[in-house]
Amino acid sequence: MPHDRASGAKPAGPCCMVIFGAAGDLTKRLIVPALYNLACAKLLPSEFAILGVDLADHTDQDWQQSLEAMTADFVHHGGQSSTVNQGVWQWLTSRMSYLKGDFNNPATYESLKSKLEERDAKQGCGGNYLFYLAIADRFFATVVKHLGESRLACEDDGHWRRVVVEKPFGHDLPSAKELNRAILSVLREEQIYRIDHFLGKETVQNIMMFRFANGLFEPLWTRDRIEHVQITVAETVGVEARGRFYEHTGALRDMVPNHVFQLVAMTAMEAPNSFGADAVRAEKAKAIDAVKVCNPAEVDCMAVRGQYGAGEIAGKPVAAYRQEPDVSPQSQVETYVALKLQIQNWRWAGVPFYIRTGKRLASRKSQIAIKFKEAPYRLFRDTPARDPAPNWLLIRIQPDEGIALEFGAKIPGPTMRLGDVRMDFKYEDYFGAAPATGYETLLYDVMQGDATLFQRADNIEAGWRVVQPVLDHWGQNAPANFPNYAAGSQGPAKADDLLKRDGHAWRLVD
């Protein structure tokens, strides 16, 4: 668990959590391990119950058992202790029950209602219900509609009803707007928690602390001092078993309007008036709103797509995307995307933000790299000191979480020689490495009613608005040369040209 929580936070208030998609992968891989971590940190209330809903046949017991292996795996790889704490696991499972049901059938919601009332009476959850939609996106609007019709979403007796919506939130701008319209016809905005798991990462949350809790950096954080910004979310994994999903999604939809734009917004936003949910989200929406929406003719100059061919990752041969399970051998879907963004406001005019994300790249690395302008005058030009290296600020999101500053320093000795040095802060050195799924903070915040780390309707739509012309242009023009980068490489050569044209170069993904 994050340390600030473990060291100071109180348990959340009474509630009952309903997981739609209880037999699915997300529940096993992330939600239940996160609940286990919250229970270990004593941040769940004793008046707590979990009700899983799904189509699969399960008894309470075998549902609980089906979850234990993944939690054990998570705990084992988390490194702190090698086995699940049985006392905590039993505390959690004694509160878990399962309901088989079809999300399309109104009868499911009637059964859910009686089960909830039963659990509530037993556990004292205060009538507060948290509905988690860990289901395929085609069911989001349906489930919300039924929650409305069955009055399960109704907050009329002083209790709260909140709904967590997973990604993908829409497939493009029109579908995202339609989904917002559909769920807002049932729920108030304050009841909706659109989750983006990047915001559960400590390093992402820290961007705001770094910028706004320190007096040092903000005066440098402008077009006067910053030359350009590079945001990289590079993965070594391929599409794994998600070929079917990915064939309809691609890297742009999967990563950019959500995760990568969160990083852009955190980097580019103005200081909010307060740390309140609406103040923060308003500034983030403003930052993405200021990104220039290009016209179709400009897409080829500001966007590059790629697809991996066969190659090597960590010395082992890996297959091309087109050879992955459930992927068409002629697939035109992109597994890599790079964009040049222009943020049209006073702070950022003329400072390009280059973003890139891709699968099967040389290394796993998510980082915000900020390149500062050179010193105004080359004082050492008549000495043996070569041109000074540029100053970079590197915010490492994952792995090796930390922040580094690169600058030049005099190499000791009688002559004036300049060396490149780096000041490096690592989270692990200061705070240790706590195993967390990233969902702990987010789940706790929903229980506490704190929406700061969740996406509002306007945040979502602002992101889709920026990528829509690229989606349209790519949808109408098939890529000529896929696959165009080898697995284990830096990505397609054209992505290098995107920066070269402006006199810049990507930092290596190493």
Beta strands in 33-138 (DSSP E): 48-54, 96-100, 129-133
Binding-site residue total for ligand BG6 (CB under 6 A)? 4
**Cβ proximity to ligand BG6, 36 vs 169, nearer residue:** 169
**Cβ proximity to ligand BG6, 47 vs 202, nearer residue:** 202
Q: CB of 439 within 8 A of CB of 28?
A: no
C-alpha to C-alpha distance for 119 and 318, rounded to whole angstroms: 49
259 is catalytic: yes
From the list 47, 54, 227, 235, which residue makes contact with ligand BG6 (rule: CB under 6 A)?
Answer: 235
**Cβ proximity to ligand BG6, 167 vs 456, nearer residue:** 167
Q: Residue 419 CB, nearest distance to ligand BG6 (Å)? A: 34
Q: Residue 276 CB, nearest distance to ligand BG6 (Å)? A: 27
Catalytically annotated residue among 146, 197, 228, 259: 259
**Cβ proximity to ligand BG6, 167 vs 281, nearer residue:** 167
C-alpha to C-alpha distance for 444 and 425, rounded to whole angstroms: 28
Q: Residue 485 CB, nearest distance to ligand BG6 (Å)? A: 17
* Chain center to CA of 223: 27
C-alpha to C-alpha distance for 9 and 265, rounded to whole angstroms: 27
C-alpha to C-alpha distance for 88 and 86, rounded to whole angstroms: 5
| Per CB under 6 A, 54 contacts ligand BG6 | no
Sequential DSSP letters for 216-236: TTGGGSSTTTEEEEEEEEE-S
What would the x/- binding string for ligand BG6 be over residues 150 to 189, using CB under 6 A?
-----------------x----------------------
| Per CB under 6 A, 401 contacts ligand BG6 | no
C-alpha to C-alpha distance for 493 and 502, rounded to whole angstroms: 15
Q: At what angle do helices 32-40 and 86-93 cross, to 10 degrees?
A: 120
| Minimal CB distance residue for ligand BG6 | 254
Binding positions for ligand BG6, 250-279, rule CB under 6 A: 254
C-alpha to C-alpha distance for 261 and 265, rounded to whole angstroms: 6
What would the x/- binding string for ligand BG6 be over residues 195 to 234, using CB under 6 A?
--x-------------------------------------
**Cβ proximity to ligand BG6, 229 vs 255, nearer residue:** 255
**Cβ proximity to ligand BG6, 58 vs 167, nearer residue:** 167
C-alpha to C-alpha distance for 65 and 68, rounded to whole angstroms: 5
Query: 484 φ, ψ to 5°?
Result: -125, 10
Residue type, 234: A
Q: Residue 475 CB, nearest distance to ligand BG6 (Å)? A: 20
What would the x/- binding string for ligand BG6 be over residues 423 to 462, using CB under 6 A?
----------------------------------------
Q: Within 94-201, where are the H helices?
A: 106-123, 140-149, 173-184
- Which residues of this chain interact with ligand BG6, rule CB under 6 A? 167, 197, 235, 254
**Residues identified as active-site:** 259
